[in-house]
Chains A and B, each alone.
Chain A
Amino acid sequence: DAGITQSPRHKVTETGTPVTLRCHQTENHRYMYWYRQDPGHGLRLIHYSYGVKDTDKGEVSDGYSVSRSKTEDFLLTLESATSSQTSVYFCAIKPGQEYEQYFGPGTRLTVT
């Protein structure tokens, strides 16, 4: 257990509404990541963070923003949700650049 929780675990929302997903870790790891997983695809990186207030874009960052104001929390925001953002969202942590990743349980988001 890498001490990672995600909230909410399931969410249904309407197109155009803002949504924030939270990833919380208890072990002060430096690196945190947000991925999305869609049928037929592996995990695709949305954004990642390498420290408090240090974030960078992944390969599918359009329509998403992130914030990391403290080490333990990494927030993913959909400013105006679209149906194409229906997906399962996974958070991951990594102690350092050369260490392995560990994943949270995932959040299933449905945008209607």
Chain B
Amino acid sequence: GIQVEQSPPDLILQEGANSTLRCNFSDSVNNLQWFHQNPWGQLINLFYIPSGTKQNGRLSATTVATERYSLLYISSSQTTDSGVYFCAAPDAGKSTFGDGTTLTVKP
């Protein structure tokens, strides 16, 4: 099955800084999802992005399917951005998740 790797595993930022999270996948995929797990454990859908770039406020995501990676950009980070960010790649009707990037934004 597909292997999904995320980097970096941990990231600490000062409020207001920008960051880039990366997701590499081992095989071609026809879609990719990004999630944010907040400190209360809730999993929130961020992007569903097979290719190209999408933006939602301070967050944007780019997937380059031919090169098997996706990037999540967070600009002007806020303390509420803290949590774990997961990417997931579909594989025959189910999804394989990376191990996540833990983001801590300090005030």
Which A residues lie at the B interface, using CB under 8 A? 31, 33, 35, 40-45, 48, 50, 58-59, 88, 90, 97-98, 100-103, 105-106
Interface pair B42/A45, CB less than 8 Å apart: no
Q: Which residue of B lies closest to A104 (CB)?
A: B43
Segment from B51-59, B72-80, B88-96 that makes contact with A: B88-96
Interface residues of B, Cβ cutoff 8 Å to A: 1, 4, 30-31, 33, 35, 41-43, 45, 48, 86, 88, 90, 93-100
**Count of chain A to chain B residue pairs whose CB atoms are closer than 8 Å in the complex:** 47
Specify which of A42, A43, A98, A102 is in contact with B45 (CB 8 Å cutoff). A102
Once the chains bind, are A98 and B30 in contact (CB under 8 Å)?
Answer: yes
Asked whether A45 and B94 contact (CB < 8 A) given A100-B48, A101-B33, the answer is yes
Contact present for A31 and B93 (CB under 8 Å) = yes
Q: 4 closest A-B pairs (Cβ-Cβ)?
A: A42-B97, A100-B48, A103-B43, A43-B97
B94 and A90: CB pair below 8 A?
no
How many whole Å from B31's CB to the nearest CB in chain A?
A: 7
Complex-state Cα separation, A101 to B90, whole angstroms: 10
Q: How far is the CA of A62 from the CA of B33 in the complex (A)?
A: 27
12 contacts between A and B (CB under 8 A): A31-B93, A35-B97, A43-B97, A45-B94, A48-B93, A97-B90, A100-B33, A100-B45, A101-B33, A101-B45, A101-B88, A103-B43
Q: A100-B33, A100-B48 are in contact. Are A105 and B42 (CB under 8 A)?
A: yes
